[in-house]
A and B are shown apart, each in its own frame.
Chain A
């Protein structure tokens, strides 16, 4: 039976191990007292509309209540309380958030990983692709600069955009950004695909560059044959991709043989490797998100900030579990 985090583990964790730095890195110290927090205090008991005057108050609360899950939300004109909940307050701002969760890839994951906890190197590469794609798109297309990526503690990655423009975006604007980034809808069932955008050229080129490269690096010759490649072409294409460090959209157009339906290939690429984002997480300006540095009670792993220069090298396997630390 899978080990789960108990109150004793949490007590030791909050008293001796819990580090506030990742949280501070994500939300800063400004307006801390006006920030909403939420906690799963015990199974089925969720409490939100909480705020803390100081970091010590926050830490003392954790030590006293030993919550199973810890979340952080938006900043309001006053600190939310039970009697003064967020519905009564004026929303001030919230970092722009993206959530990549591997369960959205269940229909295309080729490994045996399913269910809530499992993740392997193979399927983790999908989350890595998504993070790298997000990083470049948010920087190049939207001009954002202050991004952090966080391992959720189970099978996903959160991206926090901390630029001041991003923090003030309303729900409609956030929704537009996530729609811009979305090419697959209903990803757990029908996996409906959008056409590769014609006018959003930066995004289009990135699909034919980053996503296509990753697709060909992870595909087998047999898969390519099924998509219409001749076996000898399939082999050549894979060898070419492996040898090519800077793969460009022009390279992509060059490697697709004339007899192969290009639309079929581009759709396979998007379906197989394109990022799958949880839209409501981004659109909802009052959403709570797991606190960086906290422990995920289902896995015991720490919700860890990933060095953005090492996204490609990061592996959930390297993340310590609470039992390794206490």
Chain B
């Protein structure tokens, strides 16, 4: 059985590692499916990232088999998660990270091919093509932009930077909103690496769409469902472990506790968003999404969340709660997968937050970061403390902030605020989980673990 039927796009020039490319003839024996998928699941669960590069020692037929196995493993996972929104989110996130890793490592020409595929040939232009489209010359020179020198990472041989490109502004809202590109006649012009976040998001959106389209196919083929069950069960186990690493399983939150009200247990980004919201009565689209999903995963019900945003919003003056629920509730219901694309989104992880949402340590000046952290200490302890003893911690936080290591800075902040070291931090729920655990709020789970 060819598992890739209608799954891939035809485009010969796309590189072999690009998993939205069409590869024909993935006619593996169904008995091999579990093995192919398990291999991939295992790598994701170990947070492994791997390249798909042909070495000169590999024969053509061996290489083709390798590529086919890679694609088959990937598409089997797509099929397996298609009926489970949460697993689908898990897969999209992992495949997104892998795509980003491979994209960064790719040759310049492959990067451009992938971008043309993702955004369309008319929405991504080399500067010389942009000049033709606009009928202008020397655009870079006119604005005093120079082609950045190529940076080589000698250890991996990865080419990190590859000159300027132009993306249509409608495709890169995050770059436009943060003013990270020159904007001219509707084109965002910047070195390619500036667009990495947008490229990854586009890949993830397309993958999500493809998974969604598989739903009907899988539902209509009981034999296929049966075959996929083994894979799905394995995935659930892994995803559950992954989920408990990063946040809560529903049973872990003791009933009757409203953990989502414990702002003092929240990581800096969420504390700040909560404060901005209560001060200004409004959050940006992405920030609303970030905070809303976080609160959802802390167990805030749809009704509580509607009430929360109604109480905080100043943009709905004169609306009754019922009117608000009817008119604005759409956005909140969307977070719970009840509207629009009906996706039960998971809260974004730290890396995604730093790239596209609001991260204290990625988006604020070191001086402001210092203030935020000191405020958090005050909020936890309820009093001004002798700040002298925190000097080293604060200096480390500020230095990591300046050097673009937001997660490290956040980890140190956890250590300082909660007075407890943290081994690993890659998701805001992890901060909350550990803080709640320290407070003894997750007793049930601790007992279970014992």
Contact = CB atoms under 8 A, between A and B. Distances in A.
A69 to B, nearest CB: 12
Interface string A183-203: 000100100000001011111
Interface residue range, chain B? 20 to 34
Contact of A177 (B174, B176, B184): B176
A176 B174 contact: yes
Given A46-B318, A171-B285, A141 B178 contact: no
B177 A175 contact: yes
A46 B317 CA distance: 12
Given A169-B170, A175-B177, A280 B282 contact: yes
A165 B170 contact: yes
A130 B247 CA distance: 46
A173 B170 contact: yes
Contacts, number: 85
A176 B173 contact: yes
Given A173-B173, A280-B282, A199 B318 contact: no
B185 interface: yes
A33 B51 CA distance: 55
A323 interface: no
A279 interface: yes
Given A87-B326, A172-B285, A175-B284, A143 B176 contact: no
* Residue from B144, B173, B184 whose CB has the most chain A CB atoms within 10 Å: B173
A205 to B, nearest CB: 9
Interface in A135-174: 140-144, 165, 169, 171-173
A199 B190 contact: yes
A141 B326 contact: no
Given A85-B326, A173-B173, A203 B179 contact: yes
Interface residues of A, number: 32
Nearest to A144: B186
Interface of B: 143-145, 169-170, 173-174, 176-187, 190, 194, 279-280, 282, 284-286, 315, 318, 326-327, 330
Interface of A: 44, 46, 85-87, 140-144, 165, 169, 171-173, 175-177, 179-180, 186, 189, 197, 199-203, 279-280, 283-284
Given A140-B184, A173-B169, A176-B177, 11 more contacts: A46-B318, A87-B326, A142-B169, A142-B185, A143-B186, A175-B286, A180-B176, A180-B183, A199-B179, A200-B182, A201-B144
29 contacts: A87-B326, A140-B185, A141-B184, A142-B183, A142-B186, A143-B186, A171-B285, A172-B173, A172-B286, A173-B173, A175-B284, A176-B177, A177-B177, A179-B176, A179-B284, A180-B176, A180-B177, A180-B179, A197-B179, A199-B181, A200-B179, A200-B180, A200-B183, A201-B145, A202-B183, A203-B179, A203-B183, A279-B284, A284-B315
